[in-house]
């Protein structure tokens, strides 16, 4: 019997937001510099949480963290 390698990339929207989201960027000065550069480039989406925010609020599974 041959063993196969499992999936190495298991995407999770919650983990993505917590790692690359707006609040995470605002916590550090390097993160604020990243946002500043993206604003200077006129980016429509600054962070991962911006593109997912409206969907997150509609879905009751993802409630705002306190």
In a domain, 63, yes or no: no
* Residues 6 or more apart in contact with residue 14 via CB below 8 angstroms: 62
Residue 16 has pLDDT above 80, yes or no: yes
The mean per-residue pLDDT over the stretch 11-38 comes to: 94
Give the per-residue SS3 of the chain.
Answer: CCCCCCCCCCCCHHHHHHHHCHHHHHHCHHHHHHHHHHHHCCCCCCCHHHHHHHHHHHCCCCCCCC
The predicted pLDDT at position 5 comes to 76
The more confident residue out of 62 and 27 is 27
In a domain, 26, yes or no: yes
Domain count, the chain: 1
Residue 55 has pLDDT above 80, yes or no: no
Identify the domain containing residue 44 by its residue range.
Answer: 13-58
């Amino acid at each position: 019997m041959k063993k196969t390698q499992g999936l190495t990339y298991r995407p999770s929207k919650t983990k993505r937001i917590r790692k690359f989201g707006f609040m995470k960027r605002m916590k550090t000065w390097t993160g604020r510099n990243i946002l500043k550069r993206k604003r200077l480039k006129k980016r429509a989406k600054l962070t991962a949480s911006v593109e997912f925010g409206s969907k997150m609020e509609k879905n009751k599974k993802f409630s705002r963290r306190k």
